[in-house]
Amino acid sequence: MYDEAPEDVEEVLVVWLGQIHRAAVTRRNKDPLPFILVRHIDGKEDTITGTADFLVSVRVLSDKNLGEDAAAEAAKDVHRQMLELAQYLPDVPLSSGRNASLDYVTVTQSPRWVPYDNDQVLCKQAQYQIGLSYAPA
């Protein structure tokens, strides 16, 4: 088995964004809002250079009863947290005890309103390109 691979990009962002709101790759009915839904939606890897380039969707789900202003503010907070990650590229401590080191973060789609399956939830979605180098497995 190959002894190097990139860290799990979803775990990296769930940990990073979980500092401001609950974040995960799936949302259960009882999870409080606002909630950050992180999904790896595309990507490629170069095994020669040991790099991975991931496209990740970050959706911020908010309670419709609190209004669009509150939902927009929650989404702004999340986007600012991602911009901090892009600017400073800090190591992100993972549950395994390892630290994920990011090579870059690029905003490929700024936060925008998108439909959500539950009509009591407002949703803003952004997309980010995340670069990770291979690390020992």
DSSP structure class, residue 19: T
How high is the pLDDT of residue 57? 98
**Domain total of the chain:** 1
How high is the pLDDT of residue 101? 94
Dihedral, 112, 115, 120, 122 alpha carbons, nearest 10: 0
Cβ atoms 36, 59 nearer than 8 A: yes
Q: What confidence tens digit (pLDDT) does each residue in 37-75 have?
A: 999 999 999 999 999 999 999 999 999 999 999 999 999
Q: Is this prediction's pTM over 0.75?
A: yes
* CATH code assigned at 36: 3.30.2000.30
Q: Average pLDDT of the chain? A: 96
Cβ atoms 92, 12 nearer than 8 A: yes
User: Domain range spanning residue 106?
Assistant: 4-136
**Residues 73, 134: Cα–Cα separation, whole Å:** 35
